[in-house]
């Protein structure tokens, strides 16, 4: 990620770092609570699996927030490519997001933005699914190798198989989840942020947009977790 790419988005959305902090903090807190309830006394003995999930989740959070952020133009029109790349460059960062000064988006451009973000989110989800499950499976194999031989013999083989879901299946699960559920929800979040930021009361109480987006992201995180759990059960990954 180039510094100019990030700089333009920070200037375009003054709340970008706040949103990113909310996503990372909420994800860490809710994930920790869920894993403690799920694993109970085995939480610390299986901490490497939680660490792998947390690392992947952090990358996904950054992608979800930054890829949909509207960049600032800094008073100049960026160089526009010709052909397909140019058409993609002219699409809004978020279908329901605000348009920079002097720019108007058509309904078709906003609809295509949903498809573009779905493709981008899906690609990130695929990469993170492959990496995260590979890390978890490696941890499971390492754990098995480090067990005393006598203890390994006493453990059923399916105990390790449960800790090692299919890497391709997990990658496809994350790709479909990011392209579908996450894409739709974060498009709606971008629209809500735009609507709240445009309210006259938000000009008077500048903390209001930050508080609203934090509360909505909390609810969104819970809904997203439920959606993912449902898809994971359907895909036989959990």
How much is the pTM? 0.84
Please report the pLDDT score of residue 118 as a whole number. Answer: 96
Q: Which residue has the higher pLDDT, 206 or 154?
A: 206
Please report the pLDDT score of residue 171 as a whole number. Answer: 93
Three-state DSSP at 106 gives coil
Rounded to an integer, the average pLDDT of 70-81 is 65
Whether the CB-CB separation of 58 and 132 falls below 8 Å is answered with no
- Whether 11 shows a pLDDT value over 70: the answer reads yes
Mean pLDDT of the chain: 84
Query: Structural domain boundaries of the chain?
Result: 3-73+81-94+104-234
Torsion of CA 144, 149, 150, 155, to 10 degrees: 20
Please report the pLDDT score of residue 186 as a whole number. Answer: 96
CB-based burial label for 3 (10 Å; 0-12, 13-18, 19+): exposed
Distance between CA atoms of residues 117 and 195, nearest Å: 20
Rounded (to 5) percent helix, strand, coil in the chain: 75, 0, 25
Q: Model confidence at 1, in pLDDT bands (50, 70, 90)?
A: low
- Whether 76 shows a pLDDT value over 60: the answer reads no
Distance between CA atoms of residues 26 and 29, nearest Å: 5
DSSP string for residues in 60-103: HHHHHHHTTSPPP-TTSPPPPPSHHHHHHHTS-SSTTSPPPTT-
pLDDT above 70 covers a percentage of the chain that reads 85
Distance between CA atoms of residues 16 and 13, nearest Å: 5
Digit-coded pLDDT (tens) for 150-188: 555 555 555 555 557 788 999 999 999 999 999 999 999
Rounded to an integer, the average pLDDT of 128-140 is 88
Digit-coded pLDDT (tens) for 91-132: 899 998 877 777 888 999 999 999 999 999 999 999 999 999
Please report the pLDDT score of residue 145 as a whole number. Answer: 79
């Amino acid at each position: 990620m180039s510094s100019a790419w990030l700089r333009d988005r920070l200037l375009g959305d003054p709340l970008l770092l706040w949103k990113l902090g909310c996503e990372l903090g909420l994800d860490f807190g809710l994930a920790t609570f869920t894993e403690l309830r799920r694993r109970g006394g085995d939480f610390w003995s299986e901490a490497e699996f939680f660490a792998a999930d947390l690392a992947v989740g952090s990358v996904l959070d950054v992608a979800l927030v930054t890829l949909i952020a509207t960049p600032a133009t800094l008073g100049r029109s960026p160089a526009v490519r010709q052909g397909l790349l140019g058409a993609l460059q002219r699409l809004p960062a978020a279908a329901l997001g605000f348009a920079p000064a002097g720019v108007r988006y058509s309904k078709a451009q906003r609809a295509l933005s949903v498809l573009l973000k779905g493709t981008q989110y899906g690609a990130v989800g695929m990469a993170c699914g492959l990496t995260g499950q590979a890390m978890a499976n490696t941890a499971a194999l390492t754990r098995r190798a480090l067990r005393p031989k006598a203890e390994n013999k006493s453990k059923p083989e399916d105990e390790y198989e449960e800790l090692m879901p299919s890497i391709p299946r997990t990658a496809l699960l994350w790709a479909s989840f990011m392209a579908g559920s996450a894409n739709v929800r974060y498009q709606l979040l971008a629209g809500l942020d735009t609507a709240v930021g445009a309210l006259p009361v938000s000009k008077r109480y500048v903390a209001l947009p930050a508080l609203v987006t934090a509360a909505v992201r909390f609810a969104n995180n819970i809904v997203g977790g439920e959606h993912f759990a449902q898809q994971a059960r359907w895909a036989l990954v959990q």
